[in-house]
Chains A and B, each alone.
Chain A
Amino acid sequence: MPISLKDEAAIAGIGLTEFSKNSGRSELQLAAECIKAACDDAGISPSEIDGLVSYTLDSTDEIEVARAVGANDLTMFSRINYGGGAAVGTIHQATMAIATGQASTVVCWRAMNGRSGKRMGQGVSGDITSSDLVHWSWYTPYGMLIPGSWIAMIANKYMHNYGVTREDLGLVAISQRNYALNNPRAYGYGKPLSMDEYMASKMIAEPLCLYDFCQETDGGCAILITSAERARDLKQKPAMIRGVCQASTRGQEQMTSYYRSELTSLPEMELAAKLVYEQAGLGPHDIDAACLYDAFTSEIIMQLESFGFCKEGEGVELVREGGLDIDGRLPNNTHGGLISEAYIHGMNNIAEGVRLVRGESTGQPDKNVEHVLVSSGVGVPTGALILGKD
């Protein structure tokens, strides 16, 4: 008898460090700080943590974190691959563990010196031998070494097919910057972005310019998950996990799925949408706000289609009519997102999803937010999460 993950678990705490370009401390310390903050938010002691999940890209071992924060016995620990594609995947692991009794209090974290230390944006280079890195080498000799170049190939084809312009991408960047203006944690706090500035900014990998790219950030973010039942007894209003899934599709590559029939959609995101809606018993019309993964602006428009908020090729219309803004159909990345708040590999988008459900976002829409959709990395094996009010 399959176990449904719907409403089995809830997010009971979120914890963040400050976001900066130079944290001045170790990634282990960032991890410990944000995990402690998540425990404080939930009103529990770190000694109660019995499960830990992070990204394969995170440099800090679970047991280092466990010793640092004073966790006791761990009965579940796991890692998810594929960069930002791991974000929701960590919650998926935690939810499965809780639903099957493998752990009772699981923390998912990502802590990185993403600007002062290893910068994801620098891409790949050098002597490489693993199968994963042989993969990159089909692109490196030609000059495609950075994430922006891999995504630009998809963005260009998509934009060509559906008449999406640079100004349209600019609208996404500006919408998210407008949210960040009010968010003291955000890189974009108090720094407005105009369309003129957007259009004049440096071209990186055509059609993507500087402001189409996410930040590079030092910081940590932790999400504490426990059973729905227990979450109700803790300090915060629980953010119920209505549905959560991972998804990778046939012919999937990491960032460079250029060998499928068309390059104008995100099949793995469509699969994630199907799975998460089915699990939650919800559809796009039930979603009040979203935190769609936004390493690049073009990814937002494509995901509007993957998740059924509009028909194929019509994502841009939703953007043009202000659908992503605070009074729009789908307020999106109300903290500023990876583009204007911080790039913590998508973990900070999950934290924002929790705030929206709690009604605590600095970009909280006036309308009732019953359900929030959060997605993981785009162009990679990914996943989706629907959070709901209890």
Chain B
Amino acid sequence: MNTEEQRTFEELIYSYVGKQVCPRTAAKDAVNEAMIRHWAEAIGDRNPAYTDPEWAAQSSRGKTIAPPAMMYSWGQEGFPVVAQGRTPDAQSELVEKFNENGFFGTLGTNVKQEYFKEVSPGDTVYMEMVVDNISEQKATARGIGYFFETLATFSDQHGDEIGTQRFRVLKFIPPAEQAAATESADSALEVPTRIASPRGHDNKWWWDACDEGKVLIQRCRDCQTLRHPPRPMCGECQSMQWDSIESALAGEVLSFTELHHPKIPGYQYPLICAVIKLGEGTNLVANVVGCEPEAVHIGMPVQGKVEQVDEKTMLPQFYPA
């Protein structure tokens, strides 16, 4: 698919965003105890609020309720879908468009439900569904593809919303087909990202500065001692007053290791980690890039800059100086 073809294809698929998959439709059966029991048994959920009328009568609700997670099951088609096939709708048409263009692979990636109101035996569940959104083209571990998400909205016979369900599906070109579908892979890559640092009281400021392209070194405001990694108190004079200076990121490799195995998703290999002795005097662990791994050596002068290393991560990276 060349750029032009991709644009045409994307125009076509994006036209499905907002289309109705099904109008508000009542489930074939009202909420009932038998279905609830089957479901609870299958899941292994023994909550008496679902299946024990005597217990439920004493509870704050006064009656049994359906497990909220059953919401979607009330409107499910049964055997007829298997036997006769599904009536075409906007979702099946969209899937067909993907398949026609080589995106045969299908992977349900996640389901997210939200619950607003409970239903009990005798209530009727209505469902309405739309194609809610379609992503840009992504390069996933499975292959190049698009995520699309349907949004189902559930309501009861009074028209009150009882919950919503978002279902996210990845349509992708399976690897065997990947080679045939040329180009277009380079744009908007979404691959796993590096494991980020949590940001707490003692380190958030450092990473926030890193996001803005700066490596800071904490400095005691009383005795001026530099320290890294950051900590709340000066080990020299016990002062808790501190500020920071910005590192010029000139330094040398004190030691390093090339990481071979295991290869962690989100990290690019070859991967070199080094302890860098910065000109300011403190040490910093970071990556060495911009040369063959064999060229890295202890004592090597390096110059760092803060760079975006993946979609989410800014990190200091050091180059041969």
Q: Is A156 an interface residue (CB 8 A)?
A: yes
Given contacts A157-B254, A203-B260, A259-B282, contact A143 B198 (CB under 8 A): no
Our pick among A129, A133, A135, A205 for the contact of B257 (Cβ within 8 Å) is: A205
Assess whether A206 is in contact with B194, with CB atoms less than 8 Å apart: no
Interface check A141, CB cutoff 8 A: yes
B49 at the interface (CB under 8 A from A): no
Task: Provide the bound-state CA to CA distance between A250 and B259, in Å.
Answer: 28
Residue of B nearest to A210 (CB): B261
Considering only residues 241-261 of chain B, those with a C-beta below 8 Å from chain A are 254-261
In angstroms, Cα B198 to Cα A127, docked, is 7
List residues 221-237 of chain B with CB under 8 A from any CB of chain A: 228-229, 235
**A137 contacts B254, C-beta separation under 8 Å:** no
Tell me which of B8-16, B20-28, B78-86, B267-275 binds A: B267-275
| Interface hits, A139-162 → B, CB 8 Å | 139-146, 149, 152-154, 156-157, 160
Asked if B197 and A138 sit within 8 Å, CB to CB, the answer is yes
Scan B190-226; emit 1 where CB is below 8 A from any A CB, else 0. Answer: 0000111110101100000000000000000000000
By the criterion CB–CB under 8 Å, are A157 and B298 in contact? yes
Of the candidates B256, B261, B264, which one forms a contact with A153 in the assembled complex, judged by CB atoms under 8 Å apart?
Answer: B256
Hey, what's the 0/1 contact readout for B102-115 against A, CB within 8 Å counting as 1? 00000000000000
The verdict on B95 contacting chain A, using a C-beta distance below 8 Å, is no
For B283, give its contact among A126, A129, A143, A258 (CB under 8 Å): A258
In the assembled complex, B286 has its CB within 8 A of some CB on chain A: yes
A134 within 8 A of B: yes
In this complex, how many residues of chain A approach chain B with their Cβ under 8 Å: the count is 37
User: Are B256's CB and A129's CB within 8 A?
Assistant: no
Question: In the complex, which residues 265-305 of chain B have their Cβ closer than 8 Å to any Cβ of chain A?
Answer: 267, 271, 273-275, 282-283, 285-287, 298
Knowing A144-B259, A156-B255 touch, does A259 contact B283 (C-beta < 8 A)? yes
For residue B313, CB closer than 8 A to chain A, the reply is: yes
Q: In the bound complex, do residue B255 and residue A129 qualify as a contact, i.e. CB atoms below 8 Å apart?
A: no
Determine whether A263 belongs to the interface, using a CB cutoff of 8 Å to chain B: yes
| Assembly CA distance A140 to B259 (angstroms) | 12
Q: Is the CB of B257 within 8 A of A263?
A: no
Q: With an 8 A cutoff between CB atoms, is A191 at the interface?
A: no
Given contacts A141-B315, A142-B273, contact A203 B261 (CB under 8 A): yes
Alpha-carbon gap, A241 to B176, bound state (A): 65
**B158 → chain A closest CB, angstroms:** 41
Asked whether A256 is an interface residue with its Cβ less than 8 Å from the other chain, the reply is: yes
CA A140 – CA B298 in complex, angstroms?
A: 22
Closest-CB distance, B20 to chain A (whole angstroms): 38
| B contact residues around A153 at 8 Å (CB) | 255-257, 273-275, 285
C-alpha spacing A157/B298, complex, angstroms: 7
Q: From A128, which residue of chain B is reached at the shortest CB distance?
A: B198
A144 and B254 contact, Cβ closer than 8 Å, known pairs A128-B198, A259-B228: no
Say how far A260's CB is from chain B's closest CB, in angstroms.
9
Tell me the bound Cα distance from A141 to B258 in angstroms.
Answer: 15
Is the CB–CB distance between B264 and A142 below 8 Å? no
CB-based nearest A residue for B263: A143
For B264, the chain A residues whose CB sits under 8 A away are: 143, 145
A125 beta carbon closer than 8 Å to chain B = yes
A144 and B198 within 8 A (CB): no
- Measured between beta carbons, the chain A residues less than 8 angstroms from B256 are 153, 156
Residues on the A chain within 8 Å of B262, using CB = 146
Closest chain-B Cβ to A38's Cβ sits at a distance in Å of 36
Please tell me if the beta carbons of B285 and A143 are within 8 angstroms of each other in the complex: no
Q: Which 3 A-B pairs have the closest CB atoms?
A: A137-B197, A157-B255, A152-B257
Interface positions of A (Cβ within 8 A of B): 125-129, 131, 133-135, 137-146, 149, 152-154, 156-157, 160, 202-207, 250, 256, 258-259, 263
Known: A133-B198, A143-B271, A202-B260. 9 other contacts (CB 8 A): A134-B198, A153-B256, A153-B275, A157-B275, A203-B261, A205-B260, A258-B254, A258-B275, A258-B285
